[in-house]
């Protein structure tokens, strides 16, 4: 009984975390049973090997049949953490890859690289990539903000291990949406602080000019339907395009990353 409970628990956990991990795990258990393997380390090794082959070799070739592909890496388009790639959280519709490529070329002379966070899983519209409920159709992507050193030089970096949860807080006199949402009872609004896994690169500061340049380069593309960024940053960066919107108090704060979605 306990054994089946742990199998179901692991299946659900791996499915929530990686979409295909749960199924791969079940296949590994069936194969091990068929081969009569009893040793736990053998089963674990088989699960890991099957998962890596499926995730890194098979899925990138199968997902395009269903309309999504992994984000194409270049020297100037990179994940904030390789965990995103290992867990299949890096899939988008081809339109996003095309506009990322054009944007990366445009912002390169400013020293900006595109550092991406969570995207979507490879399959099934409506299957959410938790904790982002809306990242469920290949049309959504989170990007890191742009940072600079004390001399004002743009440095491609992130400020937390996951890219989430280290904020560019409102300054005195700026609109404080965080306070407003929390006062209205939306206590989850800054829960992403628990997802940072620790702050890094704290010698860097938020780059107003770099982030503005990146957001405006993205907005050059008519395929962009919406960009979410926290209201105080929208004002600070003087972003006037009406596709730059407030995401609502039911979401989490967006002064640690930019969320984009295409039409
Ligand atoms: Zn997002």
Q: pLDDT tens across 102-126, in order?
A: 999 999 999 999 999 999 999 999 9
CB atoms near residue 93 (< 10 Å)? 19
Tell me, yes or no, whether 122 and 247 share the same domain: yes
Tell me, yes or no, whether 120 and 248 share the same domain: yes
Rounded to 5 degrees, what are φ and ψ at 212? -60, -45
Tell me, yes or no, whether 20 and 116 share the same domain: no
CA of 22 to the centre of ligand 1 (A): 24
Q: Kindly tell me the number of DSSP H helices and DSSP E strands found in the chain.
A: 9, 11
Q: Check: CB of residue 42 under 8 Å from CB of residue 32.
A: yes
Residue 2 binned pLDDT confidence (cut-offs 50, 70, 90): low
| pLDDT the model gives residue 4 | 84
Domain count, the chain: 2
| pLDDT the model gives residue 51 | 96
Domain boundary among 64, 94, 115: 64
CA of 127 to the centre of ligand 1 (A): 14
Average pLDDT over residues 165-171: 95
| pLDDT the model gives residue 1 | 57
CA of 259 to the centre of ligand 1 (A): 4
Range of the domain at 214: 72-262
Average pLDDT over residues 161-183: 94
Query: What is the percent of the chain with per-residue pLDDT over 70, rounded to a whole number?
Result: 99
CA of 97 to the centre of ligand 1 (A): 16
CA of 25 to the centre of ligand 1 (A): 28
CA of 243 to the centre of ligand 1 (A): 15
Q: How far apart are CA 142 and CA 255, in angstroms?
A: 12
Q: Check: CB of residue 259 under 8 Å from CB of residue 224.
A: no
Residue 13 binned pLDDT confidence (cut-offs 50, 70, 90): very high
Tell me, yes or no, whether 144 and 219 share the same domain: yes
CA of 134 to the centre of ligand 1 (A): 7
Does residue 83 come out as left (phi exceeding 0), alpha (psi in the -120 to 50 range) or beta? Answer: alpha
Residues lying with their CB under 5 A of ligand 1, a single-atom ion: 142, 259
**Is 129's pLDDT higher than 90?**
no
């Amino acid at each position: 009984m306990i054994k089946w409970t742990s199998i179901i628990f692991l299946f659900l956990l791996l499915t929530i975390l990686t979409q295909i991990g749960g199924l791969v795990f079940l296949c590994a258990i069936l194969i091990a049973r068929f081969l009569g393997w009893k040793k736990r380390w053998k089963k674990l090794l088989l699960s890991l090997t099957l998962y890596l082959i499926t995730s890194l070799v098979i899925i990138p070739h199968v997902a395009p049949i269903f309309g999504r592909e992994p984000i194409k890496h270049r020297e100037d388009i990179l994940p904030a953490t390789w965990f995103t790639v290992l867990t299949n959280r890096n899939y988008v519709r081809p339109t996003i890859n095309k506009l990322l490529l054009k944007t990366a070329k445009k912002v390169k002379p400013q020293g900006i690289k595109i550092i991406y966070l969570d995207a979507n899983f490879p399959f099934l519209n409506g299957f959410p990539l938790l904790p982002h409920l809306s990242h469920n159709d290949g049309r959504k992507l989170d990007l890191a903000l742009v940072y600079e050193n004390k001399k004002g030089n743009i440095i491609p970096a992130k400020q937390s291990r996951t890219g989430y949860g280290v904020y560019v807080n409102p300054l005195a006199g700026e609109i404080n949406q965080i306070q407003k949402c929390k006062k209205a009872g939306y206590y989850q609004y800054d829960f992403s602080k628990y997802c940072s896994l620790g702050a890094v690169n704290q010698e860097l500061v938020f780059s107003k000019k770099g982030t503005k340049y990146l957001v405006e380069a993205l907005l050059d593309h008519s395929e962009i339907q919406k960009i979410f960024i926290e209201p105080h940053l929208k004002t600070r960066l003087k972003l006037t395009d009406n596709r730059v919107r407030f995401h609502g108090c039911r979401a989490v704060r967006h002064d640690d990353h930019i969320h984009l979605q295409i039409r």
